[in-house]
Structure 1
Amino acid sequence: MLTEELVPNRRLAKIYPRANLITFQNYHQPKASKKSANKNLKNFKELIGEFGEHTSIHGLGKPLAANISVVQRLFWTIGFLCALGMMIFVIQILAARYNRQQFKTVVNATNYPIYRIFFPEVHICNQNRLNWARFPSAKENYLRREHHNTHLDRLFTEVVALYDTFTFGRFDVFQNLSGQALHELNYVNFTSVAKFMSWRCDELFTNCVWRHTPMNCCDIFIMRRSTYGFCMSFNSLEMTEEQLRQKFDDKWPWRAARSGPGTGLKVRVLINEQLHSPYSTKQKGVMFMLMEPGVWWGYPNRVDVTGQVQVRINAQLSFYDDATRHISSRIRECVFDTERNSIDFRTLLNHVYMFENCQAECRQEYTMRFCNCSVDIFFPPSQYPPCKLSDMPCLVRHNII
């Protein structure tokens, strides 16, 4: 009797047959005949041709047509691919333009009635904004008696002379005051001094005419602050009484009845060189700004002493369509007056949102950030503390900013 140990390979042979005992049966499918292959190709061509005849893709039917030569098919294929590439290129351009959210200005109406548009505010300044004939009274009213005929008297005179042509962004004119005891005159409100010495309407204007009607200049011009100090304004909404008048008078601010010469404002401005500051070397003349009522400032225009200027104004209103509200303010680069929670919203206190009002508020925020005060002669009353004389060196250091 044989044991498992003597013939170990017999059991293994039953489970794992040797390799040379393994046979493989190959199953060979019969090759398709040439006739069958030609038939399938013909069916495919017919299918492609039928698709080309009924496809709605413009231009694709030509290269897929059944009865054309190889050269024609190649020509139409190249043309179709070129057209497809051009279409993809144009789509990319349009997609990029849409993503940039570009705005376009269109003419909404060319026959809008002129009488519905506010006549602009006319802001007029003498380039030498102080009447130096009132300087002795100003020193008597604002400089303490014990400081008369002292070095503080000379400092007071020098500062007031600088206010004669002082404008925002020209703080460098106070550079020569560095090193002096400026804090000793912090009690002087130089904005009040400048207002006291500013030109009155009867000193600055004569021969005022509005819409062919002679007017009293002091009835139609008021004094107000601006980026150039205290000047006179026509058709302004800056004063409280003018704002109240707008609520009860639907004809205020004034409007012109029609366009053309003589339908607006005519005024003669007096220079009064003999009453200018003896320390001023600036060229004599007049500066005026035109802006929409409720706007704080505009870009200045200057006129020489003997100049006669006729200003023609284009009556134009620009506005954004409400459809632009869904675009962020950073893309459209403006905000609506109702978007007061926007991080881009800036405007002067008690003023509607306008570009110029926003910029004026930003100027105040910059002086607050670097010098912790606001040069109040250039802005309407606000919540910011006014700059004192001792703050001027700080403004000089940051003038370029």
Structure 2
Amino acid sequence: MGEVEWQPDPQLGNANDDDDDASVPGKQIKSKKKEKRRHNKWLSVRRCARIPLKLILAIVTVYVCILSSERYFYYWVQTTIERTDVHVSEINFPAVTIIPMDVKNLNTSEQAQRLTRVFNMARAVLWQTPDAPRLDKHSFDAFPEYADLNPTTLDIDTLFDPVQYSCKYFFAECTWRGKPKNCCSIFRSVSTYKGLAYVFNSLRCDSPDETWPWSVAASGSLSGLNVKIRRNQHYFDLNMLGVIVHEPTQLLGHSIAYSTEERIVIPVEPLRFTAEADVKARPLNMRRCLFESEIVRLGQSRSECIYKCHVQYILERCNCTLVLPTPLAAKLENITDPTEYKGQTLCSVKHLPCFNNNKLSLFLMSNIIEESRENIFTTVDCGCFPQCDHTQYHTSTYTERLSSEENIDSLIEIDVYFQEETLFSYRSMLGFTLLDLMVSFGGIAGLIMGVSVLGWVNAILDRFTCCRQPNDG
């Protein structure tokens, strides 16, 4: 047989034609250029499509970051319950101030009786006692001879011999934490309120006890301060007493208990407030409290600030300069200096109707002054802030008659105690710190745009030839 010659398959030969053509140098270059143009075209389309998408995501990121930053700048401080089982032994017992509000002069002379009535009227107006709403124009016009008398200078010394009005005659019996005490050793006589008020456990009185403020470890009646006061003094009888329960570091209290009954019971419900040091970084109008260093710099406590605000309110409404008691006025930066209010007269008994119409107690520690008239409700905010670490003493007063027959109309008993053995403690803290803000910004940018600090650094470095990463092949 003869040899058969092998011939290539026609189909295979046709398939290799392109390869043969591609192997030609000119055709190979044209093919690569065509492929590159096609690739660049789709790359440009993708880049153009990403621009509006990136712009939208960038706007969304900025908007969400702004919402997050509002928590930092406007809602940074929050008050939360720190503890619900704080024992009363961990806080100070409140200061207690006792003031004669209404007296009956045993001197039957006409002059003594009229002066006593002026004293009681001035005391009712300045303290806004329950007798104040009953005063009318006839009551104020009944004493023309005392029209120019300064109402704040009227005190017990004006009516009686101060020797007869002393601690040993005023108090009959005192008990502290269930143990009898010498009343004159635990009370201090102060003239701040004009009337020789007696104060217990206060750091703002003259010559306070070095161990004040004191504390108790129990609650309930007779567990705190219990005092008995003689209603029948030597030259006068006590018709009404005012009792102020306040912080030992303050001059005034949130409320004043007035009573004509034989027994005044004042259960105290305290609330403790604290603040962490980082809160001081926020503006005062946001944290709404003062740290001790700021109080020292301002030179006045919250009660002094409120007192000054109330006096200024009277000055604006009644157009007169009120002369305050000397011990307190010295601490208020000479607010009562008449030269400070040129062209105004000194307040006197004839200005008491104006005081009473405004229904403002000069000695009540209220930060809000009500100006409401008929159906219009308006208030004035004194803007006096408490200390960041302080205790509020809320009271609910009730009165009753003594059961013992021999005590009726002879003694007035005052019982101040903690109602419960535990209390709530609140703490102001930073709800959103600078670190939280940074983490929030980073999380928002990573979630929406998928960027990070490392990604931005690499993108910047890739712009420089020396820092570019080498391509494979």
What range is the shorter-chain TM-score in? 0.5 to 0.7
Query: Residue in 1 aligned with 2:349?
Result: 392
Query: Residue in 1 aligned with 2:328?
Result: 380
Q: What is the deviation of 1:240?
A: 2.5
Q: Rate the CA distance shift 1:395–1:266 in 2: closer, same or farther, 3 A.
A: closer
Q: Rate the CA distance shift 1:99–1:194 in 2: closer, same or farther, 3 A.
A: farther
Equivalent of residue 121 in structure 1, options 88, 95, 98: 95
Supply the distance in 2 between the matched residues of 1:184 and 1:47 (Cα, whole angstroms): 90
1:33-59 Cα distance to aligned partner (Å, 9 max, x none): 99887544544578899x9xxxxxxxx
Supply the distance in 2 between the matched residues of 1:290 and 1:341 (Cα, whole angstroms): 24
**TM-score scaled by structure 2?**
0.48
Q: How does 1:68-83 map to 2 (within 5 A)?
A: none
Work out the percentage of aligned pairs sharing the same amino acid. 19
Query: Residue in 2 aligned with 1:290?
Result: 245
**TM-score scaled by structure 1?**
0.55
Q: Is the 8 A contact 2:102 2:241 kept in 1?
A: no
Equivalent of residue 132 in structure 1, options 105, 108, 111: 105
Supply the distance in 2 between the matched residues of 1:163 and 1:91 (Cα, whole angstroms): 60
1:357 matched to 2:301? The reply is no
Q: Is the 8 A contact 1:368 1:374 kept in 2?
A: no
Query: Residue in 1 aligned with 2:124?
Result: 165
1:255-293 Cα distance to aligned partner (Å, 9 max, x none): 22x23335422234555599558xxxxxx6654222121
As a proportion of its length, which structure holds more strand?
2
Q: Greater relative contact order (Cα 8 A, min sep 6): structure 1 or 2?
A: 2
Supply the distance in 2 between the matched residues of 1:385 and 1:338 (Cα, whole angstroms): 28
Q: Is the 8 A contact 2:199 2:205 kept in 1?
A: no
Q: What is the deviation of 1:296?
A: 0.6
Q: Helix, strand or coil for the counterpart of 2:93?
A: coil
Q: Which amino acid letter does the alignment assign opposite residue 361 of structure 1?
A: K
1:168-196 Cα distance to aligned partner (Å, 9 max, x none): 46899595445935467679952342686
**Cα RMSD over matched residues?**
5.2
Supply the distance in 1 between the matched residues of 2:146 and 2:240 (Cα, whole angstroms): 32
Between stretches 104-113 and 159-168, larger displacement belongs to: 104-113
Q: Rate the CA distance shift 1:154–1:185 in 2: closer, same or farther, 3 A.
A: farther
Supply the distance in 2 between the matched residues of 1:237 and 1:48 (Cα, whole angstroms): 75
Query: Residue in 2 aligned with 1:212?
Result: 178
Supply the distance in 1 between the matched residues of 2:121 and 2:137 (Cα, whole angstroms): 11
Equivalent of residue 98 in structure 1, options 72, 75, 99: 72
Q: Helix, strand or coil for the counterpart of 2:244?
A: strand
Query: Residue in 1 aligned with 2:187?
Result: 221
Supply the distance in 1 between the matched residues of 2:268 and 2:112 (Cα, whole angstroms): 47
Consecutive unaligned residues of structure 2, counting only runs of 5 or more, are 1-32, 339-343, 359-370, 372-473
Query: Residue in 1 aligned with 2:363?
Result: none
Q: Helix, strand or coil for the counterpart of 1:294?
A: coil
Q: Helix, strand or coil for the counterpart of 2:118?
A: helix
Q: Is the 8 A contact 1:182 1:389 kept in 2?
A: no
1:300 matched to 2:274? The reply is no
Q: Helix, strand or coil for the counterpart of 1:165?
A: helix
Supply the distance in 2 between the matched residues of 1:46 and 1:35 (Cα, whole angstroms): 17
Q: Which amino acid letter does the alignment assign opposite residue 93 of structure 2?
A: F
Q: Rate the CA distance shift 1:310–1:368 in 2: closer, same or farther, 3 A.
A: closer
Q: Rate the CA distance shift 1:259–1:157 in 2: closer, same or farther, 3 A.
A: closer
Q: What is the deviation of 1:241?
A: 2.0
Supply the distance in 1 between the matched residues of 2:175 and 2:113 (Cα, whole angstroms): 43
Q: Which amino acid letter does the alignment assign opposite residue 301 of structure 1?
A: A
Q: Is the 8 A contact 2:175 2:227 kept in 1?
A: yes
Aligned length: 305
Q: Rate the CA distance shift 1:162–1:96 in 2: closer, same or farther, 3 A.
A: same
